């Protein structure tokens, strides 16, 4: 089970919660496709361990946004390990969010003392939700994994980050192909590119965390209308 791969990273109680999450997710996955990774070893490595690299960057308090959460990774992994924080999971596919909500309700009922509240789920497009005053410039940390190219992600994610907060894009080994002009795009959107932090999953899976520090609120015109960031990504020349 998962404990064979994670015992050196987490305490027994956290591992138990993650194992329950894994079993529940695999069961629900038979009705709705939330993840293609269902083998326990692969799940522990490619989902759980990959999410755990974010732990040092979680804020001491406040809300964390997982933008484009898909099957709930990394947001639900982080919730199960650091349930003291408030997690908001945003996705445009409502049926996935409903399935994740049911999973969270089951987990909370199983561990009521350790999971005092469930994450909040928002069904919508980031281009629209980012203009909601409730969420704009709100989050000390925004994360996104396997959602879009970096220029698109910057426009979608940075408007959610509060000044002095951080956006972390989780990328694979070919991230450098997306980096051209991104420092300038980040600056246009009120942020500063900080660093690329590389790490390895398993023997040969190179990954990177791209860190962007928000310095001021993103200008009101961004993100542009729904679909525009994907069709016409910002460039460093604008």
Parse the chain into domains and list their residue ranges.
Answer: 59-231
Question: Is it true that the peptide bond before 74 is cis, omega within 30 degrees of 0?
Answer: yes
- Quote the pLDDT of residue 66: 98
116-142: pLDDT as tens digits: 999 999 999 999 999 999 999 999 999
* Structure-model confidence comparison of residues 233 and 2, the more confident one: 233
Per residue in 204-235, pLDDT (tens digit) is 678 999 999 999 999 999 999 999 999 999 99
Kindly indicate the confidence band of residue 45, based on its pLDDT and cuts at 50, 70 and 90.
confident
Residue 174 has pLDDT above 90, yes or no: no
Q: With 60 as the cut, is the pLDDT of residue 82 above it?
A: yes
What is residue 236's predicted lDDT score, i.e. its pLDDT? 72
- pLDDT at position 102 is 96
Residue 204's pLDDT is 66
Looking at per-residue pLDDT, the higher value among 41 and 112 belongs to 112
Give the CATH fold of the 59-231 domain.
Rossmann fold (3.40.50)
Distance of alpha carbon 102 from alpha carbon 121, whole angstroms: 11
Mean pLDDT within 3-30: 85
- Where are any strands of DSSP class E within 120-230? 120-123, 139-145, 161-171, 191-201, 205-214
Q: What is the dihedral of CA 100, 73, 95, 131, to 10 degrees?
A: 110
Rg (CA), the chain: 17
User: 109 CB contacts (<8 Å, ≥6 apart)?
Assistant: none
Mean pLDDT of the chain: 92
Higher-pLDDT residue of 237, 187: 187
The strand order across the sheet containing 120-123 reads 120-123, 86-91, 63-67, 139-145, 161-171, 205-214, 191-201
Q: What is the pLDDT of residue 1?
A: 56
pLDDT at 67 over 70: yes
For the entire predicted model, the pTM comes to 0.94
In percent, how much of the chain has pLDDT > 90? 80
Average pLDDT over residues 144-149: 90
Task: Enumerate long-range contacts of 33-36, CB under 8 Å, 24 or more apart.
Answer: 34/70, 34/71, 34/72, 34/96, 34/99, 34/100, 35/70, 35/71, 35/73
Task: Enter the tokens of residue 2.
Answer: 């998962």
Question: What pLDDT, on the 0 to 100 scale, is given for residue 237?
Answer: 58
């Amino acid at each position: 089970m998962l404990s064979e791969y994670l015992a050196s990273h987490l305490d027994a109680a956290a591992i138990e919660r993650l194992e329950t999450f894994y079993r529940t997710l695999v069961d629900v996955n038979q009705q709705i496709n939330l993840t293609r990774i269902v083998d326990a070893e692969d799940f522990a490595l490619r989902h759980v361990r990959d999410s755990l690299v974010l732990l040092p960057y979680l804020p001491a308090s406040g809300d964390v946004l997982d933008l484009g959460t898909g099957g709930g990774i990394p947001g639900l992994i982080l919730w199960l390990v650091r349930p003291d924080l408030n997690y908001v999971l945003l996705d445009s596919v409502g049926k996935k969010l409903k399935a994740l909500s049911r999973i969270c309700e089951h987990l909370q009922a199983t561990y009521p003392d350790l999971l005092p509240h469930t994450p909040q789920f928002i069904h919508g497009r980031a281009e629209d939700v980012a203009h909601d005053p409730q969420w704009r410039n709100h989050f000390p940390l925004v994360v996104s994994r396997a959602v879009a190219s970096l220029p698109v992600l910057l426009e979608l994610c940075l408007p959610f980050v509060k000044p002095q907060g951080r956006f972390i894009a989780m990328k694979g080994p070919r991230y450098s192909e997306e980096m051209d002009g991104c420092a300038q795009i980040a600056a246009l959107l009120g942020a500063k590119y900080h660093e690329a932090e590389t790490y390895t999953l398993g023997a040969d899976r190179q990954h990177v965390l791209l860190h962007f520090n928000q310095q001021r609120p993103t200008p009101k015109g961004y993100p542009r209308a729904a679909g525009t960031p994907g069709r016409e990504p910002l460039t460093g020349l604008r």
